[in-house]
Every structure is written in structure tokens, then in C-alpha cells.
Amino acid sequence: MASLKTEESLPTLFHQARKIHLDSSVDKEMLREGCKALQQCEEMIGKLGLFSTNETKEDISTANLKYILVPFYLAELMEKTEQDDRIKVLKVSKAKLQEFLSFCEAMELVPEDELETSLQGGPNTVTDRRARKIARFKRQRASESKLLEIKERKERRGRSTKAAALSTPVDARDDDVLDDDGEEEEREAWLTTISLALCKALDLLEMLKKEEEILSAIKEKQEQEGDTEISQDVLDVRAKTVEDWHRNAAARARYTKPAPPITCATFAQDVLEGRAKVSQEHDHKHQPLMFGPASLVGGGLTSERERMAAQVFQPGHRLPTMSIEEAGLKEMEIMNKWQERTAKMIEEAMTSWHNDKWKPRGSGGDDDDDDDAQDKARAFDDWKDDNPRGAGNKLTPCG
């Protein structure tokens, strides 16, 4: 953005300063340019006499409502500037915020609850502060939603007006109606923006007061101790200590091949508890822990006395004989064997009776078997002739 010129008009200066205020990524030079433009706006507003203490918000024209925000914008930009004397910056920013709040109070723009507590010194308990912050946050959210609604309504009206102008000519009377609607919409938007700025100004004023108290207490303590600021020698010693520490840490680092990950839970527990080192090899074998005299642990138990001594301080429960990994591998081996056996049984079943073709009995059977079958069939036919169907039914009616 080009540097601001002193001969520019009030609306142009305000527009450029507001653009800098809304941009959160401005540098120090742009902050100074914005503060300079807002100071010029204040001078021009005072010379033109745009506002009077005898007026209310209804008496101020819509075109001049936006200039009420000049002290608020100036306070926020000055608070972001960096100077050696931070307390001086805080005092100037606080003065501009109080000027903005006082003028809004005269214009009857400040809510009643804020007047009772912040401006008139009402009760300041923890509960009251919390309730005030909640109410202020709700007003801020409502103002932001209303501004977004006004923006969307203005865009829709602009599109409809453009479409109507392209389709049919607009009369002068319709032009007046559109201008009145636009002015009311613009006035509502600036009043909502001022309400949003009031919420932000009250929060910023409280924050600046706390920061000023902290910095004043630190400055007072330094003056009492006779050390107004930390000497450069102390800073150099601290910086040298930090550099030496980082240099030694870099020298101690070993740029070697990283160790393979630990996949055995038992070995990982041993490493965590100090019984093993990460660098040593491990073959995923787990032996039950031996509790007892150190001279007997790991040695050969040859006598009954040694076996009894080795059982001293043994746990009452059974110790595991394998690790979790070994148990998993064993279960996997059992499962593979079971699957192989099942597949073999299925294959044998499919090849033994399902795939064999059916062979009729008369094709190659024994003659004796055929005679026996014929005799049996004849005897069954004779029995059916002697015992007709339903002959033994006792539930048939008599007579």
C-alpha cells in the first residue's frame, strides 16, 4: 500500500486507515501509517465540528456515523505498536478507549448494564464480572451475526437491482425508494459496527489495565532493588550457557543405525525395569524367575537342601513357562495343523463318496445276492396281500 498523503479527504483517510486496521498481517511501517491517518482524521473531525455533545445518535447523519470509530481504531493500532516504554503506549491506548466510550455514552450507545458496572463503578465481584462478560460476549456474537446478515441482504438486493435494471427501466420514484432503503441499511450496519466495537473496547480496556498493573509492579520492584534492567553481561552469560549445552548435546549424540524395534513384551518390561539393556540380543525366550538366594539362582540344584533353599520366598502362584510371543506361536502352529488336517479330511470325503459314480446292482453283482433280494421282495408282497392297508386300525366306527 502506498504511503498516505496529507492532502487527502476525510473519507479517503478513514477508508485507508480502516483497511489497515482490518488487516491482521500489517508490518510496523503500515501500523505507523495507519496511526498517522487516524490522527489526521481526528484533526479534521475537530475542525469540521461533525459531532456535538448536545446531539444524540438520531441527530448524527448516516455519512458521519462511521467517524465515531476513529478513537477505537486508533487505540487498537497504537496498542500493537512496539516501543521501548510499553507503559506509555498502554496509557495512550487507554486514553483513546476511554474517549471512545465516553462519547458513545453521551450518544446513548452504551448498554445500561455496562454503564452501571464499568463506567459508574458498580459492584465488582467475581459473579458480577462473569455475568458481565457473558452478556458482553452474547452482544458481540449478535452484532457479528447481524453484520453478516446485512452484508448478505445487501448483496442480494444489489443482484436483484442489477437484474431489474437490465430487464426494465427504473423510474425516478423507484430510484428514491432504493436510495432510502440503502441509507437505512447503511445506518443499521454502522450502528451495529459501533455496538461490536464497544464490546471489543471494553474487553481491551480491561486487558490493558491488567497489563499496566503488572508492568508497573515489575518496574517498581526493579527500582526498589536498584536494578532497573537486566544487564547485557547477564544475558551474554545465559546465552553462552545455552549454546554450550546444545553443543555438548550434539557432540554426545550418536549418529548410528537405529536399533530394531522391541517386539517381545517380556524383554521390553525387562528393559524398562533395568534387568536388561536395549543393545543386548534377545531370542524371545522366557524363563521363570527364580526367587531365592543369589548363590543358588541359575546354579545346579544337586541336593535336597539346595532345592529347599531355592524355594525360599517363592510366589504362591504358578509362574509362566513361556512368553506371550511363544504362546502365540504355539497356538498358531496348532491352528495350522488343525487346518491341514481338516483340509485333508474334506479332500478324502469329496473323493471317496461324492465324486464316485453310482453303479447299479445288476451290472456286476453276485447271483446269490440277487436271489436273496428277490425272495425277500416276494415274501413282502405276500405279507401285503394278507394284511391290507388299514386292517389294524382300531379307531374305525363299529357296526
Our measurement of the distance from residue 187's CA atom to the centroid of its chain's CA atoms, rounded to an integer in Å, reads 39
**Structural domains in the chain (count):** 2
Q: What are phi and psi of 287, to 5 degrees?
A: -110, 145
pLDDT at 128: 77
Are 83 and 191 in a shared domain? Answer: yes
Tell me the residue range of the domain where 132 lies.
Answer: 50-226
Q: Binning pLDDT at 50, 70 and 90, where does residue 223 land?
A: confident
Average pLDDT, the chain: 75
CATH code assigned at 147: 1.25.40.540
Q: Select, from the ranges 177-186, 257-266, 287-296, the one with the highest average predicted confidence (pLDDT).
A: 177-186
pLDDT at 221: 80
Is residue 281 predicted with pLDDT exceeding 90?
no
pLDDT at 397: 57
**Does the residue 123 lie in any domain?**
yes
Are 107 and 183 in a shared domain? Answer: yes
pLDDT at 334: 92
Mean pLDDT of 231-240: 76
**Does the residue 278 lie in any domain?**
no
Are 163 and 291 in a shared domain? Answer: no
Cβ partners under 8 Å of residue 199, min gap 6: 136, 137, 139, 140, 143
Domain endpoint, select from 320, 341, 362: 341
pLDDT at 251: 67
pLDDT at 338: 93
Q: What is the pLDDT of residues 321-365, one digit of tens each?
A: 888 888 888 999 999 999 999 999 888 887 755 555 555 555 555
Are 198 and 336 in a shared domain? Answer: no
CA distance 260 to 279: 10
Q: What does DSSP assign to residue 327? A: H
**Does the residue 208 lie in any domain?**
yes
Are 222 and 289 in a shared domain? Answer: no
**Does the residue 289 lie in any domain?**
yes
Is residue 382 predicted with pLDDT exceeding 60?
yes
Helices (H) and strands (E) in the chain, counts: 12, 0
Is residue 312 predicted with pLDDT exceeding 80?
no
Are 79 and 199 in a shared domain? Answer: yes
CA torsion sign, 375 to 381 to 385 to 391?
A: positive
Q: What is the pLDDT of residues 168-214, one digit of tens each?
A: 655 544 555 445 667 788 888 888 888 888 888 888 888 888 888 88
Are 210 and 85 in a shared domain? Answer: yes
Is residue 272 predicted with pLDDT exceeding 60?
yes
Our measurement of the distance from residue 15's CA atom to the centroid of its chain's CA atoms, rounded to an integer in Å, reads 37
Are 213 and 73 in a shared domain? Answer: yes
Domain endpoint, select from 205, 226, 247: 226
CA distance 243 to 32: 37
**Does the residue 34 lie in any domain?**
no
Interior CA angle at 386 toward 382 and 389, to 5°?
A: 105
Are 188 and 100 in a shared domain? Answer: yes
CA dihedral 192, 197, 199, 203 (to 10 degrees): 170
Are 95 and 186 in a shared domain? Answer: yes
Is residue 2 predicted with pLDDT exceeding 50?
no
Are 157 and 70 in a shared domain? Answer: yes
pLDDT at 336: 93
